[in-house]
Amino acid sequence: MPPRATDARRAAVLGQPIAHSLSPVLHRAAYAELGLTGWSYDRFEVDEAALPGFLEKLGPEWAGLSLTMPLKRAVIPLLDEISQTAASVDAVNTVVFTEDGRTRGDNTDIPGMVAALREHGVEEVDSAAILGAGATASSALAALSRICTGEVVAYVRSDARAAEMREWGRRLDVDVRTAHWSEAARALRAPLVIATTPAGTTDALAAAVPERPATLFDVLYEPWPTELAARWSMYGGAVVGGLDLLVHQAVLQVEQMTGRAPAPLEAMRRAGERALAAR
C-alpha cells in the first residue's frame, strides 16, 4: 500500500561533496505535487568511512536514500540486496527501505539515461561513441546495451582506462572498441555521442562539431550549456543534457521511495530549471 500523504517519512541524498546537489529540489517538488505533506528530503555530507555508521542510525521513518560519489560502490556490501541493474555496473545510486526492514539498492542512472534519450526521440542507434571512461561511462555503456545494436567506441586517455572500458563491454555484452583521446574529434560523427567527462574537458572539441551532427548526450548540467553542447545546438544537432538525466533518474527514485507512480516529471524539471537559473 502506498503511504498516506500525511505520513512522516524521510529521504535524503548522501555524498561528498554534496552542497550543490539538485536532488533536494527535485524530490521536494515531487512531494509537493503528489501532496505528500509529511515527507521531507535532506542532504548530508557523508564519506565512505562514515557511511556504515550513518546507515545504522536510521529509524523506521526513513523511506530511501539517493547516493552520489564516492558512495555508489561503497554502499553495496552494507545492503541486503541489490538489483540486477545495479549489479551490472557495481554501482548503487538508490536505496529503498522496505516495510520489513530490508535495504534494497538499485541504479536509476541507467534507465534514466535511456528514458532521457527516448524523450528526445532516440530509441535505437546502430553505433555510438563515449567520451571518457569513469563511473558515468560504465553507466552509459549499460544504457547503450539496451539501445545500441552495433559498435561503441570509447575515447580515453590511458591504456588502463581503455582496458577497463573493454572489460565493462564484456560484462555488459556491448561491442566496445577503444581509441585515444587525441582522436576524440572523430567521435562527433557518431549517431549518438555521450560525453561523460568533467566540466571543461570537451571544450576543445567544440570546433570539430560536424555541419550536420546527430545526437549529443552531455551528462553535465552546470555550467550549461557546455561549449560542445552550444556548438552542437547551433549546428542543428539534438542535445540531451545533464538535467534531463538528473530528472529522469530522480523520477524513478521518487516512484520507488514513495510507491506513487507516475512521479511528476514536468514539475520536477521546472524546479530544477529554476534552481539552476537562480545560481
Catalytic residue positions, numbered: 72
Distance (Å, whole) CA 188 – CA 215:
9
Q: The C-alpha cell of 155 is what?
A: 575515447
Closest CA to 140 of 101, 172, 104, 99: 172
Q: The C-alpha cell of 189 is what?
A: 560523427
Distance (Å, whole) CA 165 – CA 279:
35
What pairing do the DSSP bridges indicate for beta strands 62-67 and 9-15? Answer: parallel
Residues 6 or more apart whose CB falls under 8 angstroms from that of 160 comprise: none
